[in-house]
Amino acid sequence: MITFSRANCTPKVAATLARRRFTLARLVAGLALALGTTFGGASAALAAQAGSATIAVVAAENFYGDVAKQIGGNYVDVTSILSNPDQDPHLFEASPKTARALQNARVVVYNGADYDPWMSKLLGATGAGTSGTSRTTIVAADLVGKKAGDNPHLWYDPKTMPAVARAVSAALGAADPAHKSVYDANLATFLASLQPVDAKVAALRARYRGQPVTATEPVFGYLSDAIGLDMRNLRFQLAAMNDTEASASDIAAFERDLRERRVRVLIYNSQATEALTRRMLALAKASNVPSVSVTETQPAGVNFQQWMLAQLDSLDKALAVGTPGQH
């Protein structure tokens, strides 16, 4: 059994873990400094909020922010902390803007399962907010029964976003009962809009269930499971996700799968293309194994549903041409 814990590391990676702890410490220290300036302007912020009809929502990741916006519509003001698909989402430092957003948020959404452990630190540092009203915190992992040690890329699990959307709708309805009917209607619309994604997953499962694929990281893992693909090289993926060194045998097995075309597709995280990932991509190209890019952060200009469908369409095209070799 593969455990997706960031603590599941060899002694060689002690320095990596130390750097991550240092980064987290800097993050919290930065937030404390940011809050010093935030409190100075608290009265103005509260006055502005009092004159606004919108509910302040903060999402750690932009795909949760997108869902909150689809549910809340014009009645929410959504801030997404991680929103750049060209950057590694694990690298983040607090800013005054982040501090102000969390300080005034009525609803907060984050992933959990040790994907964004800095959020609990930030929430603890900001307290319950300055508005004198309660703050609802929604943790996706709690909604779907996941914890640290499970694959943390929960937004790729078809069960996650319906659960998050229902929780967001309930939180907004509680915070703003006058518009509960709007949130309920938007929830129904959102759930219906996921049907094409579910249908695409079902169609891929019908055609490609049991087909061997590989990946540089477990980002796409839950959708791969939903489709029924035979995902290989999980130990390699875990090492890549944790920024640790894959074993020589795991690297050799990955390369053999590509060189001998034992897999139909290579799925890679385009936000984390380290030297070893680039090496595998080059080998896949040389071996005529199609590669499919996935991201941890939702791209600009599309909603969550469009993002998922586009990646599933790319996978469909790659699987159609990626026939494994004979051994």
pLDDT beneath 70: ranges in the chain: 1-52, 90-91, 94, 128-132, 322, 324-327
Query: Could you tell me which residues are beta bridge partners of residue 293?
Result: 268
How long a stretch of residues is the chain?
327
CA angle 131, 133, 138 (to 5 degrees): 110
Q: Report yes or no: 271 and 296 within 8 Å, Cβ to Cβ.
A: yes
Neighbours of 183 (CB within 10 A): 26
* Pair 120, 80 in one domain: yes
Q: Report yes or no: 33 and 277 within 8 Å, Cβ to Cβ.
A: no
CA atoms within 13 A on the CB side of 131: 22
2 found inside a domain: no
CA distance 6 to 21: 12
* Pair 162, 34 in one domain: yes
User: From residue 241, how far is each of 215, 231, 283 by CA, in Å?
Assistant: 11, 16, 20
The position carrying tokens 């897999």 is 263
Which of 136, 165, 193 is where one domain is finished? Answer: 193
* Pair 309, 184 in one domain: no
Q: Which domain holds residue 41?
A: 11-193
Question: Identity (one letter) of the amino acid at 22?
Answer: F
Which of 168, 193, 218 is where one domain is finished? Answer: 193
User: From residue 97, how far is each of 102, 103, 128 by CA, in Å?
Assistant: 9, 10, 17
What pLDDT, on the 0 to 100 scale, is given for residue 86? 75
Burial per residue of 196-213, b for 16 or more beta-carbon CB atoms within 10 angstroms, e otherwise: ebeebbeebeeebeebbb
CA distance 60 to 55: 16
326 found inside a domain: no
* Pair 39, 127 in one domain: yes
What pLDDT, on the 0 to 100 scale, is given for residue 274? 87
* Pair 51, 149 in one domain: yes
Query: Is residue 115 packed enough to be buried (19+ CB in 10 Å), middle (13-18) or exposed (0-12)?
Result: buried
* Pair 109, 132 in one domain: yes
Q: How many domains does the chain have?
A: 2
DSSP sequence for 264-317: S-EEEETT---HHHHHHHHHHHHTT--EEEE-SSPPTTS-HHHHHHHHHHHHHH
Q: What is residue 38's three-state secondary structure?
A: helix
CA distance 264 to 73: 41
What pLDDT, on the 0 to 100 scale, is given for residue 23? 46
Alpha helices in the chain (DSSP H): 14-40, 42-50, 62-72, 96-104, 118-126, 140-143, 160-175, 180-193, 195-208, 221-227, 234-241, 248-259, 275-286, 304-321
Tell me, rounded to whole angstroms, the distance of Cα 147 from its chain centroid: 14
Which of 129, 161, 193 is where one domain is finished? Answer: 193
What pLDDT, on the 0 to 100 scale, is given for residue 171? 98
Burial per residue of 23-47, b for 16 or more beta-carbon CB atoms within 10 angstroms, e otherwise: eeeebeebbeebbeebeeeeeebbe
φ, ψ at 229 (rounded to 5°): -75, 155
What pLDDT, on the 0 to 100 scale, is given for residue 14? 41
CA distance 183 to 147: 29
5 found inside a domain: no
Q: What is the CATH number of the domain that holds 278?
A: 3.40.50.1980
